[in-house]
Amino acid sequence: MYWRKLLKVFAELIAILRRGRNFEINERPDPKSRNSEEDSIRLVIGLDFGTCFTKVVIGEDRVRYAIPFNGLTSAENPYLLPSRLYVRARTNVCELSTESQHDDLYDNLKMPLIDRSWSLEDCVRASAYLGLVIKHARNWLADTHGLTYENRKREWFINIGLPTASFDDEELKSVYKSIVEAAWRASAQDEDITLERMKQHIHEEGGEISGLQSDNEAPELPADRINTFPEFAAQLAGYLRSSLRRNGLHVTVDVGGGTMDTTIFNVEEFDGEDTFPVLAREVHELGVNHLAETRLSRLPQLAEWEYSPFEHFPTNEFIQSNFNVDKERLDEVDLPIKIEVADAIRQLLRDTKRDRYPKAPQWSRDSNEFGKPVRSFYTGGGSLADFYATLLSRFEREVTPCRLRESRLPIPNDFQFANDRPAGFDRMAVAYGLSYDPFDIGRIVGVDEIEKIEQEDTKSTFRKKYIGKEMM
């Protein structure tokens, strides 16, 4: 059934009726005024809040704008904003960048949320940071495309990504929404954002974080306009709307600065809606920062190495030739991480084959697809590093439990950049996908909604196992 799309149409109908109440029965609206449905515009902020970088895209039906942070980040890639909050020492005003060495720096904004160790102070700092990000994005749109949306009623939505391993965590989703709600309120005010002022918008009661209506009547965003989505589903938005789309089993390996997020899922369509049954997912702290720290700690030759996360991770050949590191020694240092990364992906595939999808065509001898590779996407800035690229490419030759074949995410035609298009779409893919209308991103079927298949029950069809009653 098309219940989600029907809800969307119903909400739009209510909006039209509400606007009609503004006129008396015999009153004719001013033709210069803009009160018709055609003159409202739905703008969706896609917020990819990463452990190292934050990316933002604002989307509407025709186009999606990548938001640059010129002057606040590296000129090499202005679309990557470091996930750091600066607080001025004297005034306590929060900023996205600083030139003073005396200001306080907070650069661990997301990890307390991922590992569920957050405190009220963590949430306040994250909310202050996102408030500055949202304010910058809205100001950029007004400055750059103000005439396009002049006199149009703007209906704002915010979609924020969650790690796949956490997207069905209701408590975490509630905390994220509270943080974004407070950030929105702060972004809509003219006054500076400070940590003290942020505490007017967010509080803790009984161990629960929630939004708090402040006394200064800051504009609110209705709760149904703030939504969370798993990052893997957002990444695939361009792929699912392209001619490359295929239904069936898929794998994504998202290598970021701090983490490696692996997800195994099916792409299906039920009643006209994209549906993603998640079969297995795991987050490991095996991102490029871990690789860099390991090399720095075990290779004294790298003492002069200054790695910039804005640049591609240096190749092994660069490390060997510029720092006089033997290939054998570099391989020795990297080996434990290679084993960790490969084992993490391999174990997730085995668990899926054994417990979740024993009849998948790629490993079912009764299928014409038996032995064929699973379509896979290796995303995130770290996936371009030859350490990960070489390691992941080996899964194309590995037979057990199945082979993987890399596919590249296509760059959508409606994606607009203010500056030169940065190399690679992967790092912007999540923010791009999140900029879609929340009704159009698709339905996620969580691991907990899929019954674990006992070994003696492997003859049961998988389809019966993961379709819930609400989807029949």
Report yes or no: 101 and 166 within 8 Å, Cβ to Cβ: no
What's the pTM value of the predicted model, to 2 decimals? 0.79
What is the pLDDT tens value at each position of the chain, 472 positions in all? Answer: 444 444 444 444 434 333 333 323 222 223 333 334 458 899 999 999 998 899 999 999 999 999 999 999 988 889 999 999 999 988 889 999 877 777 899 998 999 998 889 999 999 999 999 999 999 999 999 999 999 998 888 999 999 999 877 878 899 999 999 999 999 999 988 899 999 999 888 876 555 666 554 444 446 788 889 999 998 889 888 888 888 889 999 999 999 888 899 999 999 988 888 898 999 999 899 999 999 999 999 999 998 888 777 777 899 999 999 999 999 999 999 999 999 999 999 999 999 999 889 889 998 888 888 889 999 999 888 888 889 999 999 998 887 788 999 988 878 889 999 877 766 677 899 999 999 998 888 888 877 777 765 554 444 444 444 433 333 3
The domain 245-406+442-471 having CATH identifier 3.30.430.20: the answer here is: no
Nearest to 375 by CA among 211, 229, 263: 263
- Whether 41-244+409-441 and 245-406+442-471 share one fold: the answer is yes
Residue 310 sits at φ, ψ, to 5 deg, of: -75, -20
Alpha carbons 328 and 389: distance in angstroms, whole number: 19
Judging by DSSP bridges, how do beta strands 81-82 and 53-59 pair with one another? Answer: antiparallel
Alpha carbons 407 and 399: distance in angstroms, whole number: 18
Tokens of 375: 């379509």
Task: Tell me which fold the domain 41-244+409-441 belongs to.
Answer: Nucleotidyltransferase; domain 5 (3.30.420)
Domain boundaries, the chain: 41-244+409-441, 245-406+442-471
What one-character-per-residue DSSP string does 203-237 give? EEETTEEEE---TT-PPP--GGGEEEEEHHHHHTH
What one-character-per-residue DSSP string does 74-132 give? -TT-TT-EES-EEE-TTT-BEES--S-TTSEEE--SSHHHHTT---HHHHHHHHHHHHH
Report yes or no: 52 and 289 within 8 Å, Cβ to Cβ: yes
Nearest to 37 by CA among 18, 56, 63: 18
Nearest to 261 by CA among 240, 242, 238, 233: 233
